[in-house]
């Protein structure tokens, strides 16, 4: 019978501690990686992450073909 009481107390503590941990974990779930800077392709207007964009004459392009196409259109 004593084992049942200990189990009941243990279960109760488990539930209380679980609730406390869940409460403290709740906030800070709004973190999204929006820190990356977006640039626009000068040829087609597509938005690309700056680190993935190709730069030519301080203008950004989504692909090498668009650098060529933009050069030829001038
Ligand atoms: Zn483009």
pLDDT tens digit sequence for 13-27: 999 999 999 888 766
What is the distance between the alpha carbons of residues 63 and 74, in angstroms, rounded to a whole number? 17
pTM for this prediction: 0.52
Spacing, Cα 32 to ligand 1 middle (Å):
26
pLDDT digits (tens, 9 = 90+) for 10-59: 999 999 999 999 888 766 555 555 578 999 999 999 999 999 999 999 99
Spacing, Cα 74 to ligand 1 middle (Å):
15
Spacing, Cα 7 to ligand 1 middle (Å):
66
Instruction: Please report the sign of the dihedral spanned by the C-alpha atoms of residue 44, residue 48, residue 52, residue 58.
Output: positive
Q: 62 with 53: CB under 8 angstroms?
A: yes
Spacing, Cα 26 to ligand 1 middle (Å):
42
């Amino acid at each position: 019978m004593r084992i049942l009481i200990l189990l009941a107390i243990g279960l109760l503590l488990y539930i209380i501690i679980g609730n406390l941990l869940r409460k403290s974990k709740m906030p800070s779930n709004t973190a999204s990686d929006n820190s990356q800077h977006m640039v626009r392709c000068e040829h087609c207007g597509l938005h690309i992450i700056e680190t993935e964009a190709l730069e030519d004459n301080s203008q950004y392009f989504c692909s090498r073909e668009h650098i060529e196409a933009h050069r030829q259109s001038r």
